[in-house]
Structure 1
Amino acid sequence: MDTPKEKSGWSDEELEASVDAYLNMLDRELNGQTFRKSVENQLLRDGPLSKRSASSVEYRMQNISAVLEQMDLPRISGYMPAKNIGAGVAQRIRKVLANKVVPGAGESAPTADHKTLINRAAKLQKKGLKIAPSGNPNPQQVSTTTTSYARDPKVRAWVAELAKGVCEGCGQQAPFEVDGLPFLEVHHVKHLAQKGSDSITNAVALCPNCHRRCHLASDKEAFTLSLYEKVGRLVAE
């Protein structure tokens, strides 16, 4: 929210300075250290927020509280969440927060990494959640760089045909069809990222459950080894 003297919108640098100051105060609050909001407000206006009024800085802090509350993350008790935060401002604040460590967030912090998400969710599930999380109506989009491998469709077709619609891991029928054929996921026993070959001697047809088991389960190593015993064409690499 801009006052009449503040006709220009907040820059990315101003938002980041606000978030940094907020997180610094949050860290102090969580560690039992005292601070004065008015002093912190003045320090910001003496520095990176020199164009802003005291009330504008105060409202920005309430914006940040609102976003943190939406994300089920800790917030400063002295900054009540703003009730009518614009979607655009909220999205920009989330973008800044995505690159910050929120004090006290621990295992409840949102993450774009799937494996980290599963691990954090498992810890929270074991600990127990007493109230339903509010979630995030506008989850932050995160750009990542991934490496993909060119895979031979003939290898996939051959392995899928050998399986005849039966998972080579658990022996169950494929759970559904795609393009009129039973769908099984072709998994490279030695992962391509580990220099495994894209060949029929290193690939098995698995149902989605067994495929996820190979990547995520507590017994993934033992289950992977069992595939060599179940599927005669496999050759350890």
Structure 2
Amino acid sequence: MDTQKSNTGWSDEELEASVDGYLKMLQLVNLGQPLNKKSEHELLRESALSARSLASVDYRMRNISAVFEILNLKPITGYTPAKNVGSGVVSRISRMLAQRGIVEFKDNAPTFDEELLEQRAAKLQSKPIKVQPEGITAPQQVTTTSTSYVRDPVVRAWVRQQAGGICEGCGLHAPFNLDNGQPFLEVHHVKHLAQKGSDRITNAVALCPNCHQRCHRSSDRVAFTEGLYARIGRLTPE
């Protein structure tokens, strides 16, 4: 068995036992049966999690609830999703849930990985998106070497499609095309995610790199942003 450990010291065996325990409890809840979390935690500590405290097991279950939220699944009521879950833990738990058939990774699945997000958005952008994406009202924050947010690739693709290769800031054509022929425009969140902005089409615009940096760094960034709200009908101040 793979006994890989994360920087928290949890082996794959321990993490898999936690995931299986969580899914067992979720099944009990879905069947309307009573759930005694402490008893279930003690059972886990009698086997694979013998080296872990009750508090540690409980926190791991909250980690799993956080991943459920990231994957747009309903977590167990009573396990409040943990804040700032490490990206490595998120990836490992997500993989284990996929192995158990709980979630299927698709091109429209939200992700915190910028490279994967761009790959998915580019693939989605190559075909018409007929329905406006709902997006993510409050993107989940994960901790990597820097702060990242879970974002919706369909939102990124849809906003670029609507722009049609024209910067929504200055009205000029995208500065160049990518290898796949798509015009290069960056998607900017008008209210920044770090300011609790949403990842929805009502808070996202497609900009050339100059206009994108203007939104972040220029002395007239406030006025420029106000101009975006005035010109682009789908935007809603948050």
Question: Same fold judged by TM-score > 0.5?
Answer: no
TM tier relative to shorter chain: 0.3 to 0.5
Give the TM-score, by structure 1 length: 0.43
The two structures have a TM-score, normalised by structure 2, of: 0.43
Larger radius of gyration: 1
